[in-house]
Structure 1
Amino acid sequence: MRKFDMAAAWDDARQLMRSYTALTVAIAAVFLFLPALAFAWLGPAPVAPTEGMGIDQIVRIYEQNMVQSLVPRIGVALAALIGTAAILRLWLARGGVSVGESLAFALALFPTLIAIELLTSLAFALGLLLLIVPGLYLVGRLAVTVPAAIDRGIRNPIDAIRTSWRLTDDNGWSIFFFLLLVTLVIGIISVIAGVVTMSLFGAETGAGKIVSGLVGAAFIAAGSFVSLAVSAAIYRQLAAEGTAGVFE
């Protein structure tokens, strides 16, 4: 079984992000950036806890915010799912694929992708309940489920999960720590950008809400784009000989 190489995966992820730039950026703008921006500008305003509230009150406010924003969040997530599938299709296709063809493929595979998201999320949740460690391990083992389904046209979500499990054999923890490192870097940069934006413009109304929404949506789209490239690079490295040089 091939051993996972973090440095090679990052190099390939960077190469992927440079390939089909205009096409992939256009899809990311429509399906990742614009829905996030619409949610930031038009979504329900969250209720902020006030000073002196107890833990129970803060938890209730958090639950209230989650309930009132559930429907628009689902809409944003579904749009992102189509966009990520189309981008992965462009990156992983062996021959030339147009934007229209990649979007049509993503829509055709949409029910499978929803099932994969539900099943993997359930697996992660159950794993985290079992002393956390199993859930973290599953992150690594199931990391290439979606890329495998898209590259191989797998319609059965269970088969896609089995494919990821087979490809990541003996590499689960290496992949998890690589994904953790990438996520931490993206998160730190996003937090810094958010703090700077809020300190300069605020975030409640007017220009502050407009600018903070733009910055937040841009970082959500950029972070998702990088994470996609990383997952595709992991898959390409582990899947088969010769795939890593597709865009060279």
Structure 2
Amino acid sequence: MKFDMNAAWNDAMAMIGANREVLLVLAGVFFLLPALVATLVIPPVPPMLVETPEDFQRLAEMVQAEMLQYWWVYALSLLAQMVGYLAMLALLRHSERPTVGAALAGGFKALLPAIAAYLLFSFALSLVLTVLLALTAVTGGIGALITVPLMLVGSIYVAVKVSLAAPVIAIEKVYNPAAVLLRSWRLTKGNSLRLFVFFLLIGVTYMVIAIVLGALVQGVASLMGQDSGALLVAFVSALLGSVFTVVMIAALAAAHRQLSGPATGSYSGTFG
């Protein structure tokens, strides 16, 4: 079947509306709070003017040093967000809707399979990109004109193809990493471009809102004290990011609901 973006969007908004109280609590605990804690614990990188390659190198070294020092904050924040992500998907399933407790238990249960599926996907993609980079090095500038766009388009295409991996894990309860990726690939068959446009429109809308709202908040923050202004900016940024995450989760759940067939069965024809 052909993916209907309007129907998926309406379905996503309906799911958010029907579960707004529970989603609000989960978003606050698993998205807003970790983002705020990370912002308050991790000091911002000092602003610097980047004009030369040496300036860029120093900035990169500063960012790398900060990430190495506070890796545990990033890791805990990411794990919390992954659990919330999977729990929300389980909560929004179209049949046998679980309780909040069951959804959270499902989120924790799905965490390791989700990490395994991500690592498997990352390894496979990195392997292909490494081969293409090697070909670029051998063929020189002419080869780069072909391989660089190919890597960009190919990476986006493959990312769209596995975009329903999380719903497959949380909703269909498929925990084998390879089976998860194959199932997502099969579900998105024939609808990759439509799904890409759907996700792109949501992302662009978020970016526009974030830029406009960010400018307004920065203006208000400049009138406040340094600490109060920084806290306001951090809170609004985390809040907006949490709202966007909830919308994306609902959009993924709606896309999965629309495209999903039987959760079990043969994977023949997956790459057709």
Deviations 1:126-166 (A, max 9, x none): 56964311111112211111101111111111111000001
Q: Return the alpha-carbon distance in structure 2 between the equivalents of residues 204 and 93 of structure 1.
A: 48
* 1:66 to 1:224, Cα distance in 2 relative to 1, 3 A: farther
Task: Provide the secondary structure at the position in 1 that maps to 2:151.
Answer: coil
Name the structure 1 match of 2:270.
Answer: none
Name the structure 1 match of 2:229.
Answer: 208
- State the identity as a percent: 26
Matched to 1:16, the amino acid is: M
Name the structure 1 match of 2:55.
Answer: 57
Name the structure 2 match of 1:236.
Answer: 257
Name the structure 1 match of 2:110.
Answer: 109
Question: For residues 81-230 of structure 1, what are the structure 2 equivalents within 5 Å?
Answer: 81-92=82-93, 94-122=95-123, 130-202=150-222, 205-230=226-251
Aligned residues: 239
Question: For residues 71-90 of structure 1, what are the structure 2 equivalents within 5 Å?
Answer: 71-90=72-91
Deviations 1:88-145 (A, max 9, x none): 1110162241111111111112111112233344556656964311111112211111
Q: Return the alpha-carbon distance in structure 2 between the equivalents of residues 57 and 234 of structure 1.
A: 44
Taking structure 1 as the reference length, the TM-score comes to 0.88
Task: Provide the secondary structure at the position in 1 that maps to 2:163.
Answer: coil
Report the Cα offset of residue 238 of structure 1. 0.1
**8 Å contact 2:94–2:257 — kept in the other structure?**
no
Report the Cα offset of residue 60 of structure 1. 3.1
- Coordinate RMSD, CA, aligned: 2.2
* 1:44 to 1:19, Cα distance in 2 relative to 1, 3 A: same
**8 Å contact 2:114–2:177 — kept in the other structure?**
yes
* 1:115 to 1:47, Cα distance in 2 relative to 1, 3 A: farther
Q: Return the alpha-carbon distance in structure 2 between the equivalents of residues 189 and 43 of structure 1.
A: 25
Q: Which runs of 5+ in 1 are unaligned?
A: 242-248
Task: Provide the secondary structure at the position in 2 that maps to 1:170.
Answer: coil
Name the structure 1 match of 2:3.
Answer: 4
Q: Return the alpha-carbon distance in structure 1 between the equivalents of residues 98 and 125 of structure 2.
A: 33
* 1:231 to 1:66, Cα distance in 2 relative to 1, 3 A: farther
Q: Which runs of 5+ in 2 are unaligned?
A: 130-146, 263-272
Report the Cα offset of residue 240 of structure 1. 3.4
* 1:19 to 1:63, Cα distance in 2 relative to 1, 3 A: farther
Taking structure 2 as the reference length, the TM-score comes to 0.81
Please say which structure displays the higher CA radius of gyration: 2
